[in-house]
Structure 1
Amino acid sequence: MAAGEDPLTGGWGRWENVLWYLDRHGPISRKELMSHRTRRPGMGPQRWDGRHFELHYGVFPSSEDMTALYLLLILTTGLEPESALELSVDCLKNPTRGYVEIEYVKRRRHGREANRMRLRDGGLGTPGGLIRLALRLTRRARAHAWNDSKTALWIYWHSNDVRIGGGVRHFRPRDIAVAFCERHDLRDEDGERLTVHLRRLRKTYKVEFYRITKGQLPLLARGHSKEVAASHYADIPALRPLHEAAVADGLSHALQEVVQLRVIPPQREAGLKQDTSAAAKELDVAPGEAKKLLDGEMDLWLSSCRDFFDSPFAATGQACPVPFWSCLDCSNAVITSRKLPAVLAYLDHLEDQRQAMPAGAFDLAHGRTRERILTQVLPAFPEPVLAEARAIAEATRPLENLPPLLGGIGSRQ
């Protein structure tokens, strides 16, 4: 285009001259272009035949160009399709430090209300960058647009009536999206031709935003009440796995908060043996039971038990029914240095299982137990005590000597 000149003097036989003319005078019809060919020598009939669209699209954006940017803007910002359709050329406000405000009109039952949304601004991957790209693509077209379309963001060359227009009255992205998907052979997860539903674009954005923020409803409710955000955007089948995972995590965290293991380091254990009343208070048992606990008379495999017949996993008076590793999830458990060899041996076994099992299956079966050993049990003991316990575990191999009646690992080897 920069190398072109007025085709009335330089001839219509050069592409750059035609582009020069389109830039300064606007679109021309195929009939008009071909009439110049017949009136002016040097323009063969084969040269421009069929190139009418290509020439215009070299200067002005097409409806598909604008539709692609329109859809991407909604999927990037979560704007309502109606609001995005009505954006104007001056919709960007207050750019500062990588952010910009987008001014839009939101339709409400009581009227039209102006709103602003603060979003990222920069490259083409940002909302501000997408709008600036649309403004650059339509800069030349805007000089030749219909009067009622000059201020609209979405304008393009209408090949049927050879005019530049768009905006709310003429831009129909719903229909154009069909041709766009066909041209680029876009498919859904079932391999069928992709169908674009404008009313679902905002929900698609909200779902992805909800996943990224890990279910933060206050963030999802921007522009809505929490009730509307929850019922319209969060309560959908696609997000059910996220909600179920959140409930499971919440229960797991609650269990970790409730179950605080009584881990007694050696120095504290020695002090409690000298003070039975303090031991009874700290262990929440009778003084006689406290002495038995500290002397090892109430030991199980991974821990001592404050009351084997008052388990949180069974009715009072019944023997504890859960496997031995559940001691680490039990409020009855008391762990002293005597139990460290068994704990370390069991941790080694868990690490072997962790290598052999899928990550998800291991986390479900043993993840919480392993985490509790690493974060609550071992840090309570000094390194010399841990080294001694590790040596005992390697020498005595407690896993192999576990009583079979306890359902331990030794019974399965």
Structure 2
Amino acid sequence: MRKLTYDKRDKAIQVVINPTQFQCSTLAAQLADEWLIHTRAAGLLSGGQAHAAAVRRFCEFVDERLPGGQGMDPKLARLDGDLVDLVDVIHDWESSMVQEFGLEKSTPYSMVRLLLLLIGRRASAGLPVVEKLRLRAEAPPVFKRGRNKPLDEFSNAERIALRDTARADVRELEARLKRGAELLERGRDPRDGGDWQNIADLVWASRHGALTTHALFDHLPKHTKWWPQHLTALLPPERGRNASGRSGLVNAIGRMLFPNELDLMPFRVLLLLEMPDATPEEVHDLMLDEVEFTSAGVRVVQRKMRAWRVRADFHPAAGEEAPQGDEDDSIVVSEHTYTGDGVWGVAGLLRRMIAATATIREAFEVGPRLFVSAQIVRASGGLVAGPATFRRNGRRFSSWIASHRDEQGEPSLVIGEPHEVRRLRKTAKTVRAVALGGTVTDLAGDDHHVEVFRTHYAHGTTAHILAGRAINRAQQWVFHRASAKPVLVAPEAEARLQEPEVSEGLGLSEEKAKAMVAGELDMGMTNCRNPYDSQFTQAGKLCHVAPAMCLVCPNAVIFTSQLPRLLLFADHVERMRVVLDPPRWQAVWGRQHAALMELLSECADKIPAARQEIADQVLALDLPLGLRSEFDR
């Protein structure tokens, strides 16, 4: 027997490999020895459970594969012998696991990698290993690591439904426990003067460990149809073997004092929604001494074992208002009194959960865990209590969701699958990201690197929606800037430009209108609202691309008196069509030419007069030297 004991949350856990349970006992013993040495040398916090699981699974495959596939005795298999070709066996083992789990799962890769690690460690230590097997241990697994499809977060409607249902369950639990406490005060020992058919006496018996299925068998009729109605009303609607009758009554009476795991699930759901920086394991593995209450909230020490990190987060309760109908009396915990008004925040939820499990701690030895629950044990027929795990059938997150049904028996809490509790964490992070603006840093949070965000959070539906909105905003901004046109001022409006009504209608202030009339904002072919706020130049600096880009700038304001210069500029652009290569001309002058043609088409009736003015005054186009050097070649 190879045994290794390690501590997890102040609990001793033993990992065992028993070579004698395999036909290939020699091979199993050799691999088990390497497992022990490697686990102790590496100081693995998990006790090398994954390595041990790989050894056990491989030895089971050897016992099954050798007699049937190769006609050999599994007892001949060993790392330092070549009677059995373990290289082929490892390949067959990996192939069989790929067929079992599929290419999406990483289990085959992980199992083979850990097995090869132990074999390679034995070879590097100088112990005898067949040369062919040693070379195989230096190579990676045949199949690559599978990539599971990352979990998506719950939708906002699902999040609200989960939150509201969990809150309703907490209220129902507290009402039930209050009734149980009242019955306990009135109850007597049914073994000594009490009544086994009196609910208060049964509650008393449950509190003092006297209520079992065996005791009910002796004091209640054999069949439930002969029971009093007030007892059958406590039984669940199902009539399954473990859900009704005496065990059902023991459970129903016990739940008036001791919450079970499904009763604690609403607290788990709400805490995960309120603590986006905590994993499900960090939440339900909390210890009592890791929760410190103050007058302003609660400080929670979180231990993320796989990251080797311990951190203390303070969750204030300021600003929370108690909803109508929720009691909020002060509860003393670990010599600290929380007197805040938080009810559904982290502080309020922890306070209420500790109060709900107080009777369990008084009646049972349950240890320092925060999540403790009571369940019936079939062997003794009574209740036992211990740390909640939320892993057994009927006690999982999916079981809690399925337990909510309407009067017709249809599901009343409709949540998209998979019903995975880890999705609550992603949902909480997504809500925070939306509230903070939806950036990568916001969504990743303080406890993740950007790479972790990319692989585990960036795929989410909400993240895609936020990214799409950001892209749409950027595209709309670009399209707006690209499609913006100058303002063409009609002659009658130009004559009255300094009047407040006219200037305001054109989007100009009175000062800007006066400056344009005086020619102070003339950029050569057009006027400019603000030469220091150009989309082509850094903010605060004078625009250096005027007048070439004025026709595609929303800052430009054009008077009809500037048409002669615009016509000369149109002629210049046409001459450049001959000078420049077509692709170059399109890149440099294409947008301006299209905007210029659209502008001139709106003033078609004024073009002849403008041409005549050019001829009469012998006007010529005066372009800056920088423009000619930058645009005309």
TM-score by length of 2: 0.41
| CA 1:46–1:174: 2 relative to 1, 3 Å | closer
Matches of 1:17 and 1:322, distance apart in 2: 96
Superposed, which structure 2 residues align to 1:82-121 within 5 Å?
Answer: 82-97=281-296, 99-109=297-307, 111=308, 113-121=309-317
* Aligned mate of 1:269, from 504, 513, 516: 513
State the AA in 1 paired with 2:205.
Answer: Y
Equivalence for 2:432: 209
CA contact (8 A) 1:4 1:19 kept: yes
State the AA in 2 paired with 1:55.
Answer: I
Matches of 1:108 and 1:293, distance apart in 2: 67
Equivalence for 1:138: 357
CA shift for structure 1 position 225: 2.2
CA contact (8 A) 2:220 2:227 kept: no
CA contact (8 A) 2:260 2:374 kept: yes
State the AA in 1 paired with 2:400.
Answer: F
Instruction: Confirm or deny that 1:166 pairs with 2:364.
Output: no
- Greater relative contact order: 1 or 2 (C-alpha under 8 angstroms, separation 6 or more)? 1
Equivalence for 2:204: 20
State the AA in 2 paired with 1:118.
Answer: F
CA shift for structure 1 position 90: 3.3
| CA 1:265–1:55: 2 relative to 1, 3 Å | closer
State the AA in 1 paired with 2:453.
Answer: A
Matches of 2:311 and 2:212, distance apart in 1: 41
Matches of 2:288 and 2:428, distance apart in 1: 24
CA shift for structure 1 position 100: 2.3
CA shift for structure 1 position 297: 4.4
| CA 1:265–1:60: 2 relative to 1, 3 Å | closer
Equivalence for 2:442: 219
| CA 1:228–1:307: 2 relative to 1, 3 Å | farther
CA shift for structure 1 position 204: 2.5
CA contact (8 A) 2:457 2:463 kept: no
Equivalence for 1:319: 594
Instruction: Confirm or deny that 1:66 pairs with 2:66.
Output: no
CA contact (8 A) 1:285 1:306 kept: no
> Could you tell which deviates more after superposition, 88-97 or 54-63?
88-97
CA contact (8 A) 1:61 1:156 kept: yes
Identity of aligned residues (%): 18
CA shift for structure 1 position 275: 4.6
CA contact (8 A) 1:85 1:167 kept: no
Equivalence for 2:273: 75
CA shift for structure 1 position 93: 2.3
Question: Partner of 1:156: helix, strand, or coil?
Answer: strand
* Aligned mate of 1:249, from 436, 460, 473: 473
State the AA in 1 paired with 2:415.
Answer: D
CA shift for structure 1 position 318: 2.2
Equivalence for 2:414: 187
CA contact (8 A) 1:313 1:320 kept: no
Superposed, which structure 2 residues align to 1:237-386 within 5 Å?
Answer: 237-252=461-476, 264-275=508-519, 279-280=522-523, 283=528, 284-285=546-547, 293-294=558-559, 296-298=561-563, 315=590, 318-320=593-595
CA contact (8 A) 1:74 1:80 kept: yes
Q: Provide, for residues 169-199 of structure 1, a one-character-per-residue CA deviation record: whole Å limited to 9, x for no partner.
A: x55267513332222123235xxxx542133
CA shift for structure 1 position 243: 0.5
Question: Partner of 1:215: helix, strand, or coil?
Answer: coil
Question: Partner of 2:593: helix, strand, or coil?
Answer: coil
CA contact (8 A) 1:94 1:100 kept: yes
| CA 1:150–1:298: 2 relative to 1, 3 Å | farther
State the AA in 2 paired with 1:183.
Answer: S
| CA 1:241–1:31: 2 relative to 1, 3 Å | same
Gaps of 5+ in 2: 1-182, 232-244, 318-340, 405-410, 488-506, 529-545, 552-556, 574-585, 603-633
Equivalence for 2:458: 234
| CA 1:82–1:315: 2 relative to 1, 3 Å | same
> Could you tell which deviates more after superposition, 196-205 or 259-268?
259-268
State the AA in 1 paired with 2:422.
Answer: R
Matches of 1:236 and 1:171, distance apart in 2: 26
State the AA in 1 paired with 2:190.
Answer: P
State the AA in 1 paired with 2:286.
Answer: L
State the AA in 1 paired with 2:594.
Answer: A
State the AA in 2 paired with 1:182.
Answer: A
CA shift for structure 1 position 140: 0.5
CA contact (8 A) 2:203 2:253 kept: yes
Gaps of 5+ in 1: 39-43, 328-413
Matches of 1:203 and 1:154, distance apart in 2: 22
CA shift for structure 1 position 246: 1.4
| CA 1:173–1:128: 2 relative to 1, 3 Å | farther
Equivalence for 2:13: none
Q: Radius of gyration: which is bigger?
A: 2
Backbone CA RMSD of aligned residues: 4.2
Matches of 2:360 and 2:451, distance apart in 1: 44
Matches of 1:271 and 1:317, distance apart in 2: 26
Instruction: Confirm or deny that 1:32 pairs with 2:231.
Output: no
Equivalence for 2:347: 128
